[in-house]
Structure 1
Amino acid sequence: MSRRHRRDPRESQSPDEVFSEMLIAARELLAVRSPLDAELMVSDMVGAWWGRRLRRGDAEQVLGEGLVDYAAKAGSPAALTLLIALAYLGTARQAAKAEGAALALIERDVARPRWADRLGAVKPTGCFVSRDAYGDQDTVVCTFAYRGADSGEDRHALVVVVDYNMRGIARDAWVSSHVEKLLEQAAAEAEANPMLRFEEIEPQQARALLESAMKATVEYGHRRTTAPVSDSYSAYHAFARSRIKALPPGRKRPAPLHSEAPYSRDRRAMLAAEFLSSDAAEHLSDPSAASRCADHIIDYGCDQDFGRPLRVSPTKCETFLLDWLPRKVMLSPAEQEAVPYVLGAWARFAARRTGLPDEGLRATLDGIWETTARFAETYRDPTTFGLDRDLLDRLLPDGDLSALARRVFAFPFLQGTHGEIKLDLLNPSDEADRRVLLGIDHGGELNRPDYDEHLAWHEEIAGRLWEGDPPQLWEAAQRLLDLGHDRHDVLHVLIEIAERIGDDPEELAIALDDIADIPDEPPV
């Protein structure tokens, strides 16, 4: 299906208007001869709402299942063809509804194309992975053929790019019908480039790897509203999901390049000591700052990069300096000065341990030096804004810079006195002190009959904001604050939603994402 038929469901159309246009577009399915073309057309069609969240509910349910119901009522040959495709390409709920609706239309002798019986009837013919020596990404190639087809007829390859610098998400996907040319080109590139590896893997391994990557894409989108995928990813998402199910299950996800056994705290400390005593670190002039910077580098590799502290690449180092450190870590002035130099020394130390080719190490070091000036501009020390160091220590005992704004919002009274209470001595991370601080914040509500219960809910929300769990809580609060709403009204809206939803984290995240404004009469 050409992309001119795709409409963004966020537009002001009603669902039935969207479905009507999709059913008109589905008439093209009657003209195609290949089941592969039909599957790609429908995958492109339903990709219009992939990753969307609608105020009126989940897009897959409102639009996906709604389209099935609409097509079932239409009862036309185009509708039947669309239902047959959705029975294979849809989510589990969509597929079950589409199959039942399609069978009902078939019993009424509604015409269907010849290729309908072959839709999705594929077998895997080989799985491969192209890996860069840095361990930044895997390009997975899975080839398929239709069962019973002539040799080479409709043979195709699904290609998915897995990006480990983005938490292992599936970042890109496409389909090629030039299978042999694709494989020959990948093998030739690997043979000519020492920074590339190309190898065949078991279909079970490919399935586990791709299932994990596609799940990571969804989770990344939940944390950051949208996942940074290619423009084509949504169009191929349903097709990729269906082809992955055609691969045999039964294996664990293959470890990314340079993965090792899990790093305990003791093992992390030992690795830091090995680095600091190595030739690579001998030129570092501030051993204390270098030690703390090494700890940050190791923690980042262990906690954010699949347990790979020794993996270095230009992209990983840039992400560490310009994205993770400025958001997450409270650095001292000495650490701010030292961290680019420590990272360069770490790259030399790690490259020797992992066998990274010399050209890869040179590119990594060049990337670090190019990023150093930008790091000085990107990193903002809160003390330069006039914030007291003692206050920062109380708000950030874990050094998590990203938590500063939401913790200040949760506990605005941390300095000065209140009666005989010295607020500077209260610790918001301590449960007893936290209740005192929130009680001071709500001193004007002492006479309300449900004061204890109400204060307990404020403690619940404050605790969630402190931990950033779920992240949508602070995101919703910021949207409402940006609209000019009072802090206390915002807190009451968050309490109302948390109380109404209960302990279901997914439903809570959706409800918080749906907050666009406060009603005229906010809950109290």
Structure 2
Amino acid sequence: MSPRSRPSGDRRRAPDEITGIFDDLLRHARELLAVRSPLDAELIVSEVLGTWWGQRAAAGDVEEIVGERLVEHAGRAGTPAALALLTGIACLGTARQAAMAERAALALMDRGVARPGWADRVGMVAPEDCFTSRDVFGDQDTLVCVYSYDGTDRHALVVQVDHNRSGMVRDAWVSSQVDRLLEHCRQDERTNPLMRFEPLDPPRARALLERGLAVTGAAADPPVPETFPAYHAFLRARMRALPPGYRLPAPPVYGRDRRATLAARFLASDEAEDLSDRSAAGRCVDRIIEYGCEQDQGRPLRVSPVKCERFLLDWLPRKVLLSPAEQDAMPHVLAAWVRWAGRRSGLPPQAVRAALDAVWDATGAFTEAYRDPAAFGLDRSLVHRLVPDGELEALPRRAFALPFLSGEHHMPGRGRIDLAELDPADPADRRIMIEFEHPGAAPEHLDAHERLAVRLWNGDPPQLWETAQALLDAGLERHQILHRLIEVLARCGDDPDALRRALHTLRHNPPPM
């Protein structure tokens, strides 16, 4: 069974349907009886274990849960193919799957079920060398880890680690043509001045893989190819075969003062001399530094074509509200930053030129991609009241928390008020808005709404707004949702873990309308 045919949709499947799927997998496992190489056997088992990779349910990780049920099913089947599958899972499964598979396999062996010929060698793999093929920009590492079974069945695991996505593992595959692969990498370095091919300390390779797999696993929909699930268990096992002992350094911390110093040095540089609107340039460089610090693992000085494109065409349009002057200035400021940061970080001239080409190639698309609120019929002054910090992504949740922003009204005890003159970011004005929405409510009730509004305003925690959106999708009205969230906040108090769990439950089990 290919990973492309793995089940989707409702994960709470009927027992008969699950049993049918397990029977299909056991039929697929018959291939294990025909292979001689432990490498081939491990790749087949990895494909089986990857059938449900990446799917999740409220009860936990589907791959883990269904994998354990597959082990139980294979133990009951008691066939040579089932024993072969259990033998492979004992090497490639999660810790719990492996322990269960080993017990089940021993039970079948005691009953006289025939073992496959490769059983004594499977999992007996040792690492030889590790290398990395990387670009000078620091966008990506392609790790090449070489293994063998006591000198035979030599093979290379090739893994792409994307540093533009927090070191995420993006792809993996296996090659038995090790010498040819290594020579191709060396040839690529000789012909491409922007590529480097170097030995890599195996403990460091393991640390990169551990972090990368964790990032991939935590992503809701990781951008991996359809073939990746088939290699996931194999990759996890090969990672464990590498020696531990290396700890990746924590990303450097750039506080407010350090960021301000970096911006000031840039604005005083020769590269920034021709920037005409110094005020807009200052605000633009603040965003460039923010992106490098918070989205690029604390590396504001790193520049690359991919990073520039993602900044201009993905992050800015989704996250930041720019004034018209800042929109005009941003590509020019980014180009000056590329020249300045590239010089400071020692980037080769041809690499700087490639990054600059990416900036100018993306400029036209940036103008089209940037979402000016005015283009959607939103009043710019109103938007600025809701996002005075420029955090465009916060606009919908803040509008949900405080939707009444215009109109003149008479309020008991306050007289005539103009909501358009109130600042929702100011605590006193925010209280007036909440009183307007809840006339005659008790102070305790107003306090609860105010606490929720502050949390939604700040996105604290992010799951609060995610839950509100899920309840909106389920058909609940806004005020019903507010009261549900207030109840959760009151019940969980100051326990952030309890709050996250309660929001998860509410998000996946919305109350009836």
TM range (shorter): 0.7 to 0.9
Map 1:441-480 to 2 at 5 A: 441-443=437-439, 446=441, 452=444, 462-480=453-471
Amino acid in the other structure paired with 2:235? A
C-alpha distance 207-435 of structure 1, shift in aligned 2 (>3 A): farther
Contact 2:185 2:197 in 1 (8 A): yes
Contact 2:401 2:457 in 1 (8 A): yes
1:371 matched to 2:370? The reply is no
Map 1:347-386 to 2 at 5 A: 347-383=338-374, 385=376
2:108 corresponds to: 105
Return the alpha-carbon distance in structure 2 between the equivalents of residues 130 and 73 of structure 1. 46
1:119 corresponds to: 122
Aligned residues: percent identity?
56
Return the alpha-carbon distance in structure 1 between the equivalents of residues 50 and 378 of structure 2. 47
The DSSP-based 3-state class of the residue aligned with 1:279 is coil
C-alpha distance 277-45 of structure 1, shift in aligned 2 (>3 A): same
Return the alpha-carbon distance in structure 2 between the equivalents of residues 52 and 104 of structure 1. 31
Structure 1 unaligned residues grouped into runs of 5+: none
1:240 corresponds to: 235
Contact 1:473 1:512 in 2 (8 A): no
Contact 1:472 1:512 in 2 (8 A): no
1:231 matched to 2:229? The reply is no
Of stretches 32-41 and 463-472 in structure 1, the one that deviates more from structure 2 is 463-472
Contact 2:463 2:500 in 1 (8 A): no
Contact 1:276 1:291 in 2 (8 A): yes
Amino acid in the other structure paired with 2:248? R
The DSSP-based 3-state class of the residue aligned with 1:327 is helix
1:392 matched to 2:383? The reply is yes
Contact 2:467 2:507 in 1 (8 A): yes
C-alpha distance 367-286 of structure 1, shift in aligned 2 (>3 A): same
1:266 matched to 2:257? The reply is yes
2:508 corresponds to: 514
1:334 corresponds to: 325
2:411 corresponds to: 419
Amino acid in the other structure paired with 1:251? Y
Amino acid in the other structure paired with 2:185? A
1:17 matched to 2:20? The reply is yes
Contact 1:169 1:216 in 2 (8 A): yes
Map 1:273-292 to 2 at 5 A: 273-292=264-283
C-alpha distance 154-467 of structure 1, shift in aligned 2 (>3 A): farther
Return the alpha-carbon distance in structure 1 between the equivalents of residues 446 and 225 of structure 2. 46
Contact 2:3 2:230 in 1 (8 A): no
Return the alpha-carbon distance in structure 2 between the equivalents of residues 509 and 25 of structure 1. 40
1:66 matched to 2:61? The reply is no
Contact 2:471 2:507 in 1 (8 A): no
The DSSP-based 3-state class of the residue aligned with 2:153 is coil
Amino acid in the other structure paired with 1:348? R
Map Cα deviations across residues 446-471 of structure 1 (whole Å, 9 max, x no partner). 59xxx95x777656654543333554
Amino acid in the other structure paired with 2:183? E
Q: CA deviation at 1:351?
A: 1.7
Amino acid in the other structure paired with 1:88? C
Return the alpha-carbon distance in structure 1 between the equivalents of residues 106 and 49 of structure 2. 21
Return the alpha-carbon distance in structure 2 between the equivalents of residues 52 and 498 of structure 1. 29
Q: CA deviation at 1:489?
A: 3.6
Contact 2:143 2:158 in 1 (8 A): yes
Contact 1:9 1:18 in 2 (8 A): no
Q: CA deviation at 1:433?
A: 6.0
C-alpha distance 494-114 of structure 1, shift in aligned 2 (>3 A): farther
Q: CA deviation at 1:511?
A: 3.8
Amino acid in the other structure paired with 1:349? W
Q: TM-score, normalised by structure 1?
A: 0.86
Of stretches 396-405 and 235-244 in structure 1, the one that deviates more from structure 2 is 396-405
Return the alpha-carbon distance in structure 2 between the equivalents of residues 58 and 457 of structure 1. 35
Question: What RMSD over aligned residues (CA atoms) do the two structures have, in Å?
Answer: 3.0
C-alpha distance 175-507 of structure 1, shift in aligned 2 (>3 A): farther
Structure 2 unaligned residues grouped into runs of 5+: none
Map Cα deviations across residues 55-113 of structure 1 (whole Å, 9 max, x no partner). 66530343122212222222222222222222221222222222222222233332221
Amino acid in the other structure paired with 1:114? G
1:47 corresponds to: 50
1:145 matched to 2:148? The reply is yes
Contact 1:498 1:508 in 2 (8 A): no
Contact 2:3 2:229 in 1 (8 A): no
Amino acid in the other structure paired with 2:181? L
Of stretches 82-91 and 237-246 in structure 1, the one that deviates more from structure 2 is 82-91
Q: CA deviation at 1:486?
A: 2.1
Contact 1:10 1:54 in 2 (8 A): no
Amino acid in the other structure paired with 1:355? G
C-alpha distance 89-200 of structure 1, shift in aligned 2 (>3 A): same
Contact 2:167 2:208 in 1 (8 A): no
1:188 corresponds to: 187
The DSSP-based 3-state class of the residue aligned with 1:27 is helix
Return the alpha-carbon distance in structure 2 between the equivalents of residues 309 and 144 of structure 1. 37
Q: TM-score, normalised by structure 2?
A: 0.88
Return the alpha-carbon distance in structure 1 between the equivalents of residues 491 and 31 of structure 2. 46
C-alpha distance 183-343 of structure 1, shift in aligned 2 (>3 A): same
The DSSP-based 3-state class of the residue aligned with 1:250 is coil
Map Cα deviations across residues 179-231 of structure 1 (whole Å, 9 max, x no partner). 11111111121122110011111111101111111111122x1xxx3011122
- Candidates 297, 301, 307, aligned match of 2:292: 301
C-alpha distance 504-41 of structure 1, shift in aligned 2 (>3 A): farther
Contact 2:467 2:504 in 1 (8 A): no
C-alpha distance 508-245 of structure 1, shift in aligned 2 (>3 A): farther
1:249 corresponds to: 244
Q: CA deviation at 1:126?
A: 0.5
1:34 corresponds to: 37
Q: CA deviation at 1:274?
A: 1.9
The DSSP-based 3-state class of the residue aligned with 1:174 is strand
Q: CA deviation at 1:410?
A: 2.1
2:2 corresponds to: 3
Amino acid in the other structure paired with 1:360? A
